[in-house]
Structure 1
Amino acid sequence: MNNPINKNGFPTPLSKPVVAPFSQNSRFATAGQFITVVLIWSLTPLSAVWTVHEIHWAWGLFIRFSLAIPIALACQAYFKVKIPVHPQALLSYAAGALGLFASMAFCYMGASRVPSTVISIIYGSAPFVSGLVAIYIFRSEKFSAYQWLGLLLGMLGLYFALGLNEQNLLLDRFGIGLEIVAMLLYVLSAFAVRAVAANIHPVSQMTGATIMSWLGYCSLLPFFSSDMPDELPSLDTAIAIVYSAVFSSVLAMIFYYQLLNKVKPTTLMLMNIICPVLATLWGTWLNHELLSSHFILGLLLLCMGLACYALRVPGK
């Protein structure tokens, strides 16, 4: 996700999307989009873990974006929008690639060291980081008392979920660090796109950033030529790569941009609350990841923090 962030910690559309017409019962269509995005995002951390289980992270991302580009171009044709190539647009794509290229690189590197449940809970804290950046760097907003309480609960949740209260940290410290850097780059990318302010159609922004990220991965491959896959991946890994290319990179983003124009930001905040919970269920069920009591407590505190963070004081 590489687009401006509003005062609730969510991206705002760069321009009004030209969306395909839905049926007259738009409520069901909107609910379907919401559920689809939640399901896709909750499974994305697991797809990263399954990908790097057999394939080097650089090659896994290269294959993912190689598959995503033709799908993104097909979406361009379907929505009947063009990809601008003027200097400001290219700069906007580069800002978006900070999230798709740099952030994903760190995310996939960390995915070989930490379980998908940890990835999901770290990314679940992104709205807090976005809010702090908006306050202390851009000085574009102020937190309410509810949001400060939410931030405190969220940070306390991370403290327990990552096992930082344990004397002997069970999780890989380097892996946790990689995922935190990935989350920070993800947030920074959204603010960078806002700073460029190229006013590009969201689908074009997605496609341009995807292509630029793919070029970045191409430049990395010579350094990892010895890790090039020499055999077909297992069914799990193949499904993970195709899933991340089709659903995570393209479909979820298009639906999310449409939801931005249909539902309230507080409703969108439910995604950040639901996704870590579902991702934990997928990780334990499909990947047999172990859960500690401290992780469950941390997850509950994070969800409570996000719920408080979504509250707005009436009249403000």
Structure 2
Amino acid sequence: MTAKSSLPVTASIYMLLVLIWATTPLAIVWSVQEVHPMWVLVIRYFGASVIALMLLAIMRNPLPYDSTSLKSYVAGSLNLIGAQLFIYLAANYLTSGLMALIFGFSPLIAGLIGHVILKTHKLVALQWLGMAVAVAGLSFVFAESAESKVNPIGIVLMLISMVSYISSIFWVKQINAPLKPMSQATGSLLVSALGSVFMIPFIWQHFPTHMPSTQAWIGFGFTLVMSSIVAMLCYFWLIRRLAASTVSLSNVMTPIIALILGATLNHEHISPNAILGIGVVMLGIVMYFWKEWKQNYFSKKA
């Protein structure tokens, strides 16, 4: 597949991942209304692991157990049992807007790590400016919704979540195991499921005792299939083809799209300031990707 022909495919998979991640918060809210959040995570990872194993068998993809593959599974699980666990815990201390704001800084952090520390890629001035503009726009969107009283415990938990997410991207890319996306996703889900077992003694008293509502099942089903399987396939496919900072930039777009979905589906009000902030974020994203678009598409077209 040539660079020109692969660009639409990459862009489509990228947007699918962003849309799933943007819809996941609403699905999580529905799924945890009647069940303890940590039990939702445990059941979600075990259920997703079973589905992934079935898909792996249907696709006849291998699930290698050599040392390199096992390391890659553990690295990928940091984006599951690591990042999402601390997001759920932080929800007890911070508003969702402030959580999205903090996690939205991950592309800037990833870009700094990749450029300054790991030396894996070089960012040009326009990319630096685009990332700064996008993060500034995100800050503007959530500035009014964030509570003035900020709990430091929640901030620490969100920072740990963000570091886990970024570390997962860099670690998987550094290991560079010759795994198919489905094999990588399945292995990471299995590691996450095994890791979630250690939470059970601490949440046993909250074990579900009744059948959840239809709405809760819909939310749980979405996180089980779309968020845990489809999103992971897209995620592992993208991190092998894009820079870590580019993949993590999806976390700038995700809260913006989630805000739009909330207004469309739940009739939530979007202030003029929020609309202005969305425009600033989109401008920053265009600035950041302009070099890549120009190299991979416009120059080929000419």
Q: What TM-score comes out, normalization by structure 1 length?
A: 0.75
Q: Is the 8 A contact 1:41 1:252 kept in 2?
A: yes
Q: Output aligned runs, 1:79-90, within 5 Å.
A: 79-90=59-70
Q: Output aligned runs, 1:1-316, within 5 Å.
A: 36-114=16-94, 116=96, 119-120=99-100, 122-163=102-143, 169=148, 174-255=153-234, 275-286=254-265, 291=270, 295-312=274-291
Q: Is the 8 A contact 1:69 1:211 kept in 2?
A: yes
| CA pair 255-92 structure 1, distance change in 2 beyond 3 A | closer
Q: CA RMSD in A?
A: 3.9
Q: Is the 8 A contact 2:38 2:203 kept in 1?
A: yes
The one-letter amino acid of 1:222's match is: P
| CA pair 211-31 structure 1, distance change in 2 beyond 3 A | same
The one-letter amino acid of 2:180's match is: H
| CA pair 288-151 structure 1, distance change in 2 beyond 3 A | same
1:103 CA displacement: 0.5
More helix by share: 2
Give unpaired runs (5+ residues) of structure 1.
Answer: 1-15, 17-25
Give unpaired runs (5+ residues) of structure 2.
Answer: 297-302
CA distances 1:95-140 after superposition (whole Å, capped 9, x unpaired) = 1111111101012223455555555555444333221110122012
Map of 2:300 onto structure 1: none
SS of corresponding position for 1:312: helix
Give, in whole Å, the separation in 1 of the partners of 2:189 and 2:239: 21
Q: Is the 8 A contact 1:116 1:280 kept in 2?
A: no
Q: Is the 8 A contact 1:52 1:111 kept in 2?
A: no
1:304 CA displacement: 2.3
| Percent of residue pairs bearing the same amino acid type | 33
| CA pair 270-89 structure 1, distance change in 2 beyond 3 A | closer
1:299 CA displacement: 3.7
Q: What TM-score comes out, normalization by structure 2 length?
A: 0.78
Q: Which range moved further: 225-234 or 287-296?
A: 287-296
Q: Is the 8 A contact 1:158 1:298 kept in 2?
A: yes
1:31 CA displacement: 8.2
Q: Which range moved further: 200-209 or 50-59?
A: 50-59
Q: Which range moved further: 177-186 or 187-196?
A: 177-186
| CA pair 74-225 structure 1, distance change in 2 beyond 3 A | same
Equivalenced residue count is 291
1:196 CA displacement: 2.4
Give, in whole Å, the separation in 2 of the partners of 1:32 and 1:144: 25
